[in-house]
Amino acid sequence: MFWENMSQINIVFQNLGEWLFYPMRLFSFLGDEEFYLFIMPAIFWCFDSRLGLRLGMLLMVSNGINGVFKFLLHGPRPFWVNDKVIAYIHESSFGVPSGHSQNAVSIWGYFATLTKKLWLRWIFIAIFIFIGLSRIYLGAHFILDVVIGWVIGGILVFLFIFIEKRYGTRIALWKKNKKISAAILVSVFFILTAIFLVQVNQNWQFSPSNLTNVNRVFEGEKINPFSMDGVLTASGAWLGLVIGVIYVSDCLPLGKISASTTNKIVRFIIGLIGVMVLWAGLRLVFPSGIPFLSEFLRFLRYLLIGIWISAGAPLIFRRLNI
């Protein structure tokens, strides 16, 4: 009954009219994986590699934490509990907390802390607010999911800034092996925590009414809310980003990119081609649906993407003198 009552807010949003679909889908896209695959490398390669690394690390940690919380709370989606909620987008994972909302606060909220211009800060705040509202309109999340996502994202930004100011210099002085070990521990922590929660909830099932609504939306296709894909994506990309930066730090120090506009465009094109080859190409090549093997290959794919972004592409830029 609680979730059904919460779904009434989704219905109120959707009753505002279908004309809102495209604006809301656009805001939702600003929190999609595809958007981050586009914007994060652009910042790292073309503007400020230090800022790009911080954003990438923050995003991957946020994704990992979000995946763990989804397994821990295993809350439903609005269209699971109420067939009157239109599922404009089909999400197969658990709903709470909203990953889009959490990541939006983590990234756009972090941007807001970096600028001293009040008008720009309000733009960044408006972006993550509308990303959250778009998820309600699209039927992907309850308002509670969104609010919890915002809160967790805000806490992450606060902790990230605190740790960076308090311990950043000390961590920078660590030897490479210690840095790599710490990165591996973070990655393994997310994976093992997720595996533990999956095992604890291995007998979980959809309620009959929820299953009916899910089957209606997915047209009978079986979905697995306890899929490890999100956690493996975050863990692999996190590890790849950090390891890549560690290994090339001696010859490619982090900082603002001083290349010409033309060279920046070339850098982005070359780098993005590499990302697409690894992200889309390997997805077509690697088999899916095979227990353990498919999960490992997904982790490997995002590990390689992270290494390419932080080390592979920059080394090629240096070789090409761009």
| pLDDT tens sequence across 166-182 | 998 898 889 999 999 99
pLDDT for 222 equals 87
pTM of the model: 0.94
Distance between CA atoms of residues 22 and 20, nearest Å: 6
Distance between CA atoms of residues 212 and 81, nearest Å: 9
Alpha-carbon distances, residue 268 vs 45, 180, 205, 222, 322 (angstroms): 7, 27, 45, 38, 11
Mean pLDDT of 254-272: 91
Give percent of the chain with pLDDT exceeding 70.
100
The answer to whether 308 and 274 are in contact (CB under 8 A) is yes
Q: Which helix (H) or strand (E) holds 202?
A: none
Residue 13 token pair: 């949003």
Residue keyed to tokens 């590890």: 239
* 308 Ramachandran zone, left/alpha/beta (phi>0; psi -120 to 50): alpha
pLDDT for 255 equals 87
- Go through 294-317 and write b for each residue having 16 or more CB atoms within 10 A of its CB, e for each that does not: bbebbbbbbbbbbbbbbbbbbeeb
Q: Strand pairing partners for 48?
A: 256
Distance of CA 272 to the CA centre of its chain: 18
Q: Give the up-direction half-sphere exposure of residue 7: CA atoms within 13 A in the CB hemisphere.
A: 20
Backbone angles phi, psi at 28, to 5 degrees: -65, -35
Eight-class DSSP state of 48 = B
Distance between CA atoms of residues 118 and 120, nearest Å: 5
Kindly indicate the confidence band of residue 259, based on its pLDDT and cuts at 50, 70 and 90: confident
* Between 153 and 39, the higher pLDDT residue: 153
DSSP alpha helices (H): ranges in the chain?
A: 2-14, 21-29, 33-46, 49-73, 78-81, 99-114, 118-137, 143-172, 176-200, 208-218, 229-248, 261-276, 282-285, 293-307, 313-319
Whether the per-residue pLDDT at 253 is higher than 90: the answer is no
- Torsion over CA: 110, 77, 27, 281 (sign): positive
Kindly indicate the confidence band of residue 123, based on its pLDDT and cuts at 50, 70 and 90: very high
The answer to whether 106 and 153 are in contact (CB under 8 A) is yes
- For residue 145, the tally of other CB atoms under 10 A from its CB is 29
Distance of CA 200 to the CA centre of its chain: 25
For the stretch 174-218, pLDDT in tens is 999 999 999 999 999 999 999 999 999 988 989 898 999 999 999
For the stretch 47-69, pLDDT in tens is 999 999 999 999 999 999 999 99
Whether the per-residue pLDDT at 103 is higher than 90: the answer is yes
- For residue 33, the tally of other CB atoms under 10 A from its CB is 15
